[in-house]
Structures are given as C-alpha cells and as structure tokens.
C-alpha cells in the first residue's frame, strides 16, 4: 500500500480525489493546502506519490521545482492537476516540467486510478533513501 499526498487548497478537489483513491485503491491519503504544509506533511511521512495543484498558496510551480532538485524528493512521482484551464505561459511551462502526468478536472475515476498505477509502477524500481527536506 502506497501513501498519496494531495496538495490542493480546494476542499472540493481534495475530497473528490480522496473519495476515488480510498474507494478504488488500497492507498492511504494525506493532505496539504499550501506548499509549506506540503513540506511539513512530507517530513511527517514520505509520500509515494504527490498530486499537486499548481495554483496553491505558496506557488505550486516553485514547490514542484524545489521537490525535483532536492535529493530526498527528486524521485517521488508528481502528477499535476488543475481545475482551471491553463493559460499559454503555464501550458508551455508544464510541458517542460518532469512530471508524471497531468489531469484536468473533472477527471474520470478510471483515468485517475490508471494515472496512479502508472506513476507508482514507473518508480517502483527506483531505489530511494529517505532524507526529509529541511523546513
């Protein structure tokens, strides 16, 4: 069983993702509303997968970039999600990011579960040594 961290400031989006993950998988779920809170949750328990909203307080893109360069979090799969259409600049930036998928709300439960499975499978063979990021 894997641990999924949902980073989103929308209670509706968090609940939507949580409901699908809890009913369709055996994974545990954690939550964060801001980038600072996300780091705190990662120190408490290392996630096996992160669902990251780009438009959170503290800037989701900056959080993503910081997670990718830190040795303790670089290998964690990150699936980007958004409930609002992306502008042209954000779309270009998203294409350059090394993420493990992008989903736009509303997302079908089957597609979400498939994204989770693919991201976790791709990273299952990666040997990791967990060192919590400094807050």
pLDDT of residue 1: 87
- How confident is the model over 85-107, as pLDDT tens digits? 889 998 998 899 989 999 999 89
Determine the structural domain holding residue 21 and report its residue range: 3-124
Q: What is the pTM of this model?
A: 0.89
In angstroms, the CA 135 to CA 122 distance is 28
Look at residue 97 and tell me if it is in a domain.
yes
Look at residue 104 and tell me if it is in a domain.
yes
- How confident is the model over 72-85, as pLDDT tens digits? 899 999 999 999 88
Look at residue 134 and tell me if it is in a domain.
no
Look at residue 129 and tell me if it is in a domain.
no
Look at residue 130 and tell me if it is in a domain.
no
Look at residue 111 and tell me if it is in a domain.
yes
pLDDT of residue 129: 56
CATH of the domain at 60: 3.40.50.2300
pLDDT of residue 127: 56
């Amino acid at each position: 069983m894997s641990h999924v961290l949902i980073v989103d400031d929308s209670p509706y989006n968090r609940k939507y993702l949580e409901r699908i993950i809890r009913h369709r998988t055996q994974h545990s779920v954690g939550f964060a509303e801001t980038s600072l809170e996300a780091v705190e949750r990662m120190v408490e328990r290392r996630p096996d997968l992160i669902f990251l909203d780009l438009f959170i307080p503290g800037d989701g893109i900056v959080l993503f970039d910081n997670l990718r360069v830190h040795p303790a979090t670089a290998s964690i799969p990150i699936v980007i999600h958004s409930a609002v259409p992306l502008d042209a600049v954000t779309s270009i930036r998203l294409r350059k990011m090394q993420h493990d998928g992008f989903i736009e709300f509303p997302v079908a439960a089957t597609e979400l579960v498939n994204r989770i499975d693919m991201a976790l499978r791709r990273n299952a063979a990666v040997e990791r040594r967990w060192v919590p990021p400094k807050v």
